[in-house]
Amino acid sequence: MIEYFEAKAEQKYDQKKDVLATKEDITSVKLEIAALENRLVKQMYWINIVQFLATVGALIGIIKFMIH
């Protein structure tokens, strides 16, 4: 009876050991997240610059329209 449960436990372990993350997997994911974060910060920076320029352009257009 004990051998049966030991065999079942070993079988369950063998099924799950391929799914468990290793230290290398975790490190790889952390590096990918850091790279993604870097790209997102750069994109946010450029989006804010473009938005600022659009706002300034709209204000200049409104002021020119009101002056004439």
DSSP summary character for residue 20: S
Answer whether residue 47 is part of any domain.
Answer: yes
Answer whether residue 9 is part of any domain.
Answer: no
Nearest to 35 by CA among 23, 27, 45: 27
Residue 36's pLDDT band, with cuts at 50, 70 and 90, is very high
Residue 67 has what pLDDT? 92
Domain of residue 55, residue span:
21-67
Q: Give residue 19's Cα distance to chain centre.
A: 22
Answer whether residue 46 is part of any domain.
Answer: yes
Residue 10 has what pLDDT? 83
Judge if pTM exceeds 0.85: no
The dihedral over CA atoms of 11, 14, 17, 18, expressed in degrees to the nearest 10, equals -120
Answer whether residue 57 is part of any domain.
Answer: yes
Domain count, the chain: 1
